[in-house]
Amino acid sequence: MTTAQITVEQIDAYRWRVPKQGKMRTYGLIFADAELMHDLEGDQCIQQVVNVAHLPGIVGPSIAMPDIHWGYGFPIGGVAAFDENEGVISPGGVGYDINCGVRLLRTPLSIDEARPRLKELADKLYQRIPSGVGASRSDVRLSVKELERVLERGAEWAVEEGYGRPRDLECIEAGGRLPGEPDCVSHRAKERGKNQLGTVGSGNHFVEVGYVAEVYDQAAARALGLERGTVTVFIHSGSRGLGYQVCDDYLDTMVKAAAKYGIELPDKQLCCAPLASTEAKNYIGAMNAAANYAFANRQLMSHYVRGALEEIFGRWVSEATDLVYDVAHNIAKFETHEVDGVKRRVCVHRKGATRAFPPGHPELHPRFREIGQPVLIPGDMGRYSFVLVGTAGAFNETFGSTCHGAGRKMSRHQAKKVARPRNIPKELEERGILVRAASRATVDEEIPEAYKDVAKVVDVVDAAGIGKKVVKLAPVAVVKG
């Protein structure tokens, strides 16, 4: 097939190759079925897969997940690895919302026990968890010095301050702390972040109450405490204004760096710097600091969720509400992978993609060694979400990566236009889903039909062997910004 003048060859039912041509240093590899590929015809995200393949030091293919859509520089749903000595790092390969990610809590409640008080719970969550644009009513006001501790220690800081339990850290990617360098974060970024910790934000961020509607892998579900009917809470948020500012600051730096080091770019949005350069090291320090902020942000919101559960259902419920896992969807990390039979240390960019390490991987906490890393895949607020586990197939083929969600198929402007004559909260309530939101605009631009069907995305991932389905979650209450 040809997509926007780019030839794409079908490898099998779930894999498509963009042949190496021109100045591409490698080929493109897209995970999708025929229907999802058809939806991508004419979309610029395929061109972005090609553009990433031009970058210096890229190792293996330029990869796209089935939830791929257009993004800044890299496509959202893009994965690319770069050799630590010859490769580059690009802020466009991480995105503006550094460590935008997802956290899943499981409660001791069944959906039958919780349903009579769902309205109270939805109201309490909306009251307790600040959402919306800007400072968002944050209850935490940090001095710059205290903020720098957050940037350095991540979720550890939050737990030490009483926002959670030490065992929470066992269930967070990288333990909720990356080697961040607060000194690499600008004053402007710190000013934007110091009053936003513990807030959801707006856009596609949310807090969602759901329940386990279907189980695909009984052993893995049992290990994660996700028995059928279990009430769960999803938290989807990132590094807020601080992460946005870090990206903005370093895009300026990287444009100059690309020119300085003679890097030819097919798209200015892919501006980058050699991994060994000062510019790259400074960005990595700032990116990790922003990632730590996001880990702490979700940790605080978990604390607020437990507080809401305690008010509605009693202390025993909050005490028995445990963290299943917390994963980053926008990050670049140094990892060791086997490439052409040789182990190499590479910098893996995951933008709108999830780490999916297999059973037995040494970076996983012992509680996950037998089943593999939990992978959290939110859908849209009207249908369903999924929990998967990582696989050896993902580790061998995609640098231990898989999809991150449904992927947009409508722009925010288009979604608002479609939703304008409708009452979306009422429609959802008629389907048994309560919505609490700071503004109508946020709900309208996040209508379910604005997204691909995440079940189709997850089915491709499962069939291709780069993730394994464990459970399906159905939403019953959503808090939006």
Residue that the structure tokens 């996950």 belong to? 368
15 three-class SS: strand
pLDDT (tens digit per residue) in 432-464: 999 998 888 888 999 899 898 999 999 999 999
**Average pLDDT of span 239-262:** 97
17 assigned to some structural domain: no
Confidence of residue 5 (pLDDT cuts 50, 70, 90): confident
Q: What is the rounded distance in angstroms from the CA atom of residue 472 to the CA atom of residue 459? A: 12
Catalytic residues: 404
Amino acid (1-letter code) at residue 30: I
280 assigned to some structural domain: yes
Output the pTM of the full model.
Answer: 0.96
**Average pLDDT of span 166-180:** 98
What DSSP line would sit under 45-93, residue for residue?
A: HHHHHHHHTTSTTEEEEEEEEEEEE--SSSPEEEEEEEETTT-EE-GGG
CATH code where residue 433 lies:
3.90.1860.10
Contacts of 222 (CB under 8 A, 6+ apart): none
Which DSSP state fits 172? Answer: B
Structural domain boundaries, residue 212 = 101-480
Residue 440, pLDDT score: 85
Question: What percentage of the chain exceeds 90 in pLDDT?
Answer: 89
427 assigned to some structural domain: yes
**Which segment of 122-136, 192-206, 323-337 scores lowest on mean pLDDT?**
122-136
Q: What is the rounded distance in angstroms from the CA atom of residue 196 to the CA atom of residue 297? A: 8
Amino acid (1-letter code) at residue 149: R
**Average pLDDT of span 151-176:** 97
Q: What is the rounded distance in angstroms from the CA atom of residue 384 to the CA atom of residue 225? A: 19
Contact 481, 200 (CB under 8 A): yes
**Average pLDDT of span 81-89:** 97
What share of residues in the chain are helix, strand, coil (percent, to 5)?
A: 40, 25, 35
Better-scored residue on pLDDT, 223 or 201: 223
| Structural domain count, the chain | 1
Is 338 exposed, middle or buried, given 0-12, 13-18 or 19+ CB atoms closer than 10 A? exposed
Confidence of residue 411 (pLDDT cuts 50, 70, 90): confident
Q: Token pair for residue 205?
A: 């961020």
Residues, the chain, total? 481
211 assigned to some structural domain: yes
Residue 407, pLDDT score: 84
**Is the per-residue pLDDT at 135 higher than 60?**
no
Sign of CA dihedral 461, 462, 465, 466: positive
- Alpha helix (H) residue ranges in 314-420: 315-319, 392-397, 412-419
With CA atoms as reference, report the closest residue to 121 among 478, 480, 481.
478
With CA atoms as reference, report the closest residue to 300 among 429, 192, 161, 106.
161
Average pLDDT over all residues of the chain? 95
Return phi, psi of residue 358, to 5°. -85, 170
Residue 1, pLDDT score: 54
51 assigned to some structural domain: no
314 assigned to some structural domain: yes
92 assigned to some structural domain: no
**Is the per-residue pLDDT at 81 higher than 60?**
yes
Contacts of 342 (CB under 8 A, 6+ apart): none
Residue 141, pLDDT score: 83
Residue 442, pLDDT score: 84
**Average pLDDT of span 2-20:** 88
60 assigned to some structural domain: no
Residue 139, pLDDT score: 72
pLDDT (tens digit per residue) in 289-312: 999 999 999 999 999 999 999 999
**Is the per-residue pLDDT at 193 higher than 90?**
yes
